[in-house]
Copies of this chain bind each other. A is one copy, B any other.
């Protein structure tokens, strides 16, 4: 007998037929004698529908009421799945955020789960299945809150931790984590095992399988996660501690993002505090700066600073740089037709020549590298956007991922 947290995403519960299918999956786990807690998302499209209703009323809809509004989506799925399980003869029961309760802290729409009363559910799952709405909780003073980044994945990981569950299974509409985007690169392969670190790099780089903050929490408490498809029986991707993985390959996956823009400030005064002067106002304006590279300029007293941002923030960023008196430079250039390509792998550290291999591969395809950034398990380059798929395919091949 194993205690399991199963989480089903929006597309997995998007129709009544799918909810009935999910009920069968949950029943089969129960029939195996497992203790099961099921976390559900809102039916696909529902959360956006509610968000759009709020926007019709105000671009600045009250945050407290926004959370009351949005939390109704998972409430509906919880009741429907509980009803579907009862119809299959399973003793199932939905809990609402306040009935458990799930206590959160932090501001509305961006709260974090800090405690969950496990007593009643622990008792119930001895012979029943508990259904819990993801993405929400209540504050200490009894207001409904929703969880920001991480959403229902974060609820699942928090429950796995607090209930001391053996495993946390994230059911979604893909079969697991892939070596690159399977929709664009048909030779992409499902990864059987991946470390938390690698998963974090991949999920923040655009492999939208699981939310980063939920992976972070799982890493912090060493909770093994399996990402798998609701729609096939095949095994998914297990995400766990690096030491459990036998690395035969230096690179685990190739990720890319296509909504980046690059800005270069040429001839910036080379003295302490200059970088801070540049990035402080961008931070205040909530512009997320991704890669930063500083080169020595030809002129000995100045330097060139290149950084990347989301493409949608380009105009705002240029405005700030143009109008801020503290920021001095000779010239500013930008390029909004760039893409970021990253190779990720916990095996990179111990494999010499990965960097050289990457640069050589891109050069062979006449792809010019505009900027480079490295970390222990990741190597990212900025290239012209038009070369994206070409570059991803080449790297996928030379690192033996096809």
Chain A residues in the interface with B (C-beta under 8 A)? 16, 19-20, 50, 53-54, 56-58, 60-62, 64-66, 68-69, 72, 75-76, 78-80, 82-84, 86-87, 93-94, 96, 98-99, 142, 144
Shortest 10 CB-CB contacts between residues of A and residues of B: A69-B79, A68-B79, A16-B56, A72-B72, A65-B79, A65-B83, A58-B87, A65-B82, A62-B86, A61-B83
Task: Known contacts A62-B82, A82-B62, A142-B99; decide if A68 and B94 are in contact (CB<8 Å).
Answer: yes
Task: Known contacts A96-B144, A98-B98, A99-B142; decide if A65 and B86 are in contact (CB<8 Å).
Answer: yes
13 contacts between A and B (CB under 8 A): A19-B57, A50-B76, A54-B83, A60-B87, A65-B80, A65-B83, A65-B94, A68-B75, A69-B76, A69-B80, A72-B76, A98-B99, A99-B142
- Chain B residue numbers with a CB within 8 Å of A20 are 57
- Chain B residue numbers with a CB within 8 Å of A60 are 87
Is chain A's interface secondary structure helix, strand, loop, or mixed overall? Answer: helix
Are the CB atoms of B16 and A57 closer together than 8 Å? yes
CA distance A68 to B93 in the complex (A): 11
- The closest CB in chain B to the CB of A70 belongs to B79
Are the CB atoms of B66 and A79 closer together than 8 Å? yes
Are the CB atoms of A62 and B76 closer together than 8 Å? no
Are the CB atoms of B99 and A83 closer together than 8 Å? no
- Chain B residue numbers with a CB within 8 Å of A96 are 68, 98, 144
CA distance A79 to B87 in the complex (A): 32
CA distance A94 to B56 in the complex (A): 19
Q: Which residue from B54, B57, B68, B84 sits with its C-beta under 8 Å from A78?
A: B68
CA distance A20 to B94 in the complex (A): 33
- Chain B residue numbers with a CB within 8 Å of A86 are 58, 62, 65
Q: Which residue from B57, B76, B84, B142 sits with its C-beta under 8 Å from A80?
A: B57
Q: Which residue from B53, B62, B68, B142 sits with its C-beta under 8 Å from A16?
A: B53
> Beyond the given A20-B57, A60-B87, A65-B82, could you list 13 further A-B residue pairs with CB under 8 A, ordered by the A residue number?
A19-B57, A53-B76, A53-B80, A54-B79, A57-B80, A57-B83, A65-B86, A66-B83, A72-B75, A75-B75, A96-B98, A96-B144, A98-B99
**Shortest CB distance A102–B (Å):** 13
**Shortest CB distance A129–B (Å):** 12
Which of A60, A66, A98 has most chain B Cβ within 10 Å?
Answer: A98
**Shortest CB distance A51–B (Å):** 12
- Chain B residue numbers with a CB within 8 Å of A99 are 98, 142
- Chain B residue numbers with a CB within 8 Å of A142 are 99
Which of A50, A68, A99 has most chain B Cβ within 10 Å?
Answer: A68
- The closest CB in chain B to the CB of A133 belongs to B68
Which of A78, A80, A87, A142 has most chain B Cβ within 10 Å?
Answer: A80
**Shortest CB distance A54–B (Å):** 6
- Chain B residue numbers with a CB within 8 Å of A76 are 50, 53, 69, 72
Are the CB atoms of B56 and A83 closer together than 8 Å? no
- Chain B residue numbers with a CB within 8 Å of A19 are 57
- The closest CB in chain B to the CB of A76 belongs to B72
- The closest CB in chain B to the CB of A120 belongs to B142
Which of A50, A56, A57, A75 has most chain B Cβ within 10 Å?
Answer: A57
- Chain B residue numbers with a CB within 8 Å of A69 are 75-76, 79-80, 83
**Shortest CB distance A47–B (Å):** 12
CA distance A57 to B75 in the complex (A): 16
CA distance A50 to B46 in the complex (A): 13
